[in-house]
């Protein structure tokens, strides 16, 4: 090597002898890299969230890296997205782990697992600081998947959902055909429901036609966009079936590792930035749309009775014990989560004041 290159000459394509010639093609590839990312969302607030992440990446990279966001089913079906990223048919995907949980029930623990007294914020804390990311990567390796993932956007607990009548007791749920996804399907089956797993856009038509009797998706804004208020007037908030969830942004590992380190860092830290933006943005929208459902669409909104949620926790115990006995890795993840939640939630439960008491003081 007879010439020492600085970064500017490298990016301009200055050639050097020896090893520098071999490095040049990889670096030239950094000029104007475009990644095709498919979202699991055809529209609505979740597609807005995906676009928000993409916008952050595109702006932070200064044109060196661009993500082209495609809506649901643009290239492959939602159930095929992870495989498409693995094979390089897609460069990236924006969805939730529950959408590929058929490969491993442990996938659902990364977002839609049992509630150990924690919220989505604390589960993300476990992912980043409690060993969750290492366990996720171990799962990817065991499944032979060529992907790199980041997690963001702590979702509030999902509503129990829409029913034909008010639910005051868990016995009313037995035999109902109900839509949900992930491990929640196992839990509600344990409670005597008949579970159907459908993508979001098919929920309202299925309930309208009678294919299902009750359903949940995720939040008041999406439910209102789907038109759930046109097929039911009974909406139950609060549930342990999916009391925490967040997005997974996944990239083809080979494509990701070919990027310059600073571009890899942008993909990672844009995800962390979107974490805060999602919570601020979506919480406001959800609360506003809940009011509209009540005042403009005549929806009766209830808080799910504690007795129903207690039965959900019992069902979770049965499901977790059964799968843990069949899957050592699943059991390993559960134990890691419990250890984190026991310590962190002990502090938070002791330290956090009763916010509901303060709300009642001011607003009744």
> Residue 158, annotated ligand binder?
yes
Q: Cβ–Cβ contacts within 10 Å for residue 165, how many?
A: 11
Which residues are within 8 A (CB) of 170 and not within 5 positions of it... i.e. 6 or more apart? 191, 307, 308, 311
d(CA 251, CA 150): 9
The side-by-side arrangement of strands in the sheet containing 147-155 is: 65-70, 33-39, 92-95, 245-252, 147-155
DSSP secondary-structure letter at 309? Answer: H
Question: For the chain, how are helix, strand and coil distributed in percent, rounded to 5?
Answer: 55, 15, 30
Q: Cβ–Cβ contacts within 10 Å for residue 42, how many?
A: 15
> Residue 179, annotated ligand binder?
yes
Beta strands of the chain (E only): which ranges?
33-39, 65-70, 92-95, 147-155, 161-163, 177-179, 194-196, 214-215, 234-237, 245-252, 300-303
- Per-residue CA distances from 89 to 66, 192, 251 (Å): 17, 40, 11
> Residue 136, annotated ligand binder?
no
Contact 221, 284 (CB under 8 A): no
**DSSP bridge pairs for 149:** 250
Residue 322 parent element (H or E): helix 306-326
Which parts are annotated binding residues?
158, 179, 216-217, 242
Which parts are annotated binding residues for Na(+)?
217
Which parts are annotated binding residues for substrate?
158, 179, 216, 242
């Amino acid at each position: 090597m007879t010439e020492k290159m600085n970064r500017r000459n490298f990016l301009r394509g200055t050639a050097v002898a020896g090893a520098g010639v071999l490095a040049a093609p990889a670096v030239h590839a950094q000029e104007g890299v475009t990644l095709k990312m498919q979202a699991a969302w055809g529209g609505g607030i979740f597609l807005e969230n995906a676009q928000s992440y993409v916008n952050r990446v595109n702006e932070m990279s200064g044109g060196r890296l661009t993500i082209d966001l495609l809506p649901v089913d643009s290239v492959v079906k939602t159930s095929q997205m992870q495989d498409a990223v693995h094979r390089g048919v897609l460069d990236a995907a924006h969805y939730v782990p529950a959408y590929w949980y058929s490969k491993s029930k442990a996938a659902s623990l990364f977002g839609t697992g049992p509630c150990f007294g924690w919220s989505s914020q604390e589960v993300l804390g476990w992912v980043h600081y409690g060993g969750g990311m290492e366990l996720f990567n171990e799962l990817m390796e065991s499944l032979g998947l060529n992907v790199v993932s980041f997690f963001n956007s702590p979702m509030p607990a999902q509503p129990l959902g829409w029913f034909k009548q008010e639910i005051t007791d868990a016995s009313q749920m037995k035999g109902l055909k109900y839509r949900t996804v992930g491990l929640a399907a196992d839990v509600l089956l344990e409670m005597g429901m008949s579970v159907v797993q459908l993508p979001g856009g098919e929920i309202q038509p299925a309930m309208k036609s009678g294919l299902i009797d009750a359903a949940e998706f995720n939040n008041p804004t999406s439910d209102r966009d789907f038109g759930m208020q046109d097929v039911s007037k009974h909406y139950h908030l609060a549930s342990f079936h999916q009391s925490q969830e967040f997005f997974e942004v996944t990239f083809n590992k080979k494509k990701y590792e070919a990027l310059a380190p600073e571009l890899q860092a942008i993909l990672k830290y844009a995800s962390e930035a979107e974490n805060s933006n999602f919570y601020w943005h979506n919480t406001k929208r959800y609360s506003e749309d809940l009011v509209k459902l009540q005042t403009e669409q005549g929806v009766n909104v209830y808080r799910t009775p504690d007795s129903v949620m207690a039965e959900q926790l019992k069902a979770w115990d049965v499901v977790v014990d059964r799968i843990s006995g069949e899957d050592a890795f699943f059991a390993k993840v559960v134990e890691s989560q419990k250890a984190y939640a026991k310590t962190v939630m002990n502090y938070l439960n002791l330290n956090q004041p009763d916010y509901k008491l303060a709300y009642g003081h001011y607003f009744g």
